[in-house]
Amino acid sequence: MAFGREETPVRASDELIIFMGKSVEITGDIRFQGSGRLDGKVEGKINVDGTLILGEGAHISSEIEGGAIIVGGTVKGKILAREKVQLLKTSVVNCDISSPSLIIEEGAQFNGNATTGINTATEKTQTAIPISSEESKRKAVVQAVK
């Protein structure tokens, strides 16, 4: 509170909301909005609405879903990005990647399948949302007409 007024902090879109150091280990799911950096060990699903940076010390065994995902460490599992995936030269990635854009720096190790394109990540995200039987009937009628 400053001079009797309550101020609400304004977050920049690239401001880190979460930082997890190298000595931290998490077994379980992580979900947050905004951008974050993980340098420790995670076993569980990670869901981020913003940018996720996986530092050189990161060891991730997980399904990762986010906006932009930048990998500098080790990842086993799956990566689904709505914007882009960037594999830095220090990364070791043993998983499948689905993203509109994939950037692989020289020296990065990538073993897996990659699916890229404009609608790649958004199509998969939308199919995961359950729809009511009434909506599915309407969609079936619309597809039959087409």
Q: Of 40, 76, 72, which Cα lies nearest the Cα of 55?
A: 72
pLDDT, one tens digit per residue, over 70-83 is 999 999 999 999 99
The radius of gyration of the chain's CA atoms, rounded to the nearest angstrom, is 18
Helix (H), strand (E) at residue 27:
strand 25-27
Q: What global pTM score does this model have?
A: 0.72
The confidence score (pLDDT) of residue 8 equals: 38
pLDDT, one tens digit per residue, over 3-60 is 444 443 434 456 778 888 898 999 999 999 999 999 999 999 999 999 999 999 999 9
Q: Of 92, 58, 94, 97, which Cα lies nearest the Cα of 76?
A: 94
pLDDT, one tens digit per residue, over 82-131 is 999 999 999 999 999 999 999 999 999 999 999 998 765 544 443 333 44
